[in-house]
Structure 1
Amino acid sequence: MLGEIFRKGVMERRKKLTDILIKWNVYENEESLNDLSLTELEREYKNLILESHPHDSVRSIRWKNNH
């Protein structure tokens, strides 16, 4: 059971990172990311954040409405 929860969490994180990397044109499609491990996807995401300007659309400040 715990292994199943862990596996689901890894799959969800991979999907989130894949979607972000494709959205910001780091990779063209999901197939090109299938061979990367979660660690490699995390590294690519961190590189995207480090290379982006703090006020561009990747890391822009977003206001939250806390009602």
Structure 2
Amino acid sequence: MRLNPRLFDGGAVATFWQALADYDVLLRPGSLFGEDDSYFRLGFGYLPVERLLEGLALISRALDHAESH
């Protein structure tokens, strides 16, 4: 996935990653896969649906936080 560059400049991307850390959400940044950090990979394996929904809600919260800064 990629953060829309029209909405997320470099500062907003950094804010997004910091918010994820603050919320204890672990995503993999694009830099691990040859892209910049506006890209990320979401892995959910065999999580119970409730945990997945909680994680997605926290990612949404981090996106909102980053977009507003």
TM-score using structure 2 length:
0.32
The structure whose residues are more often helix, as a share, is: 1
* TM-score normalised by structure 1 residue count: 0.33
Q: Larger RCO: Structure 1 or Structure 2 (Cα < 8 Å, ≥ 6 residues apart)?
A: 2
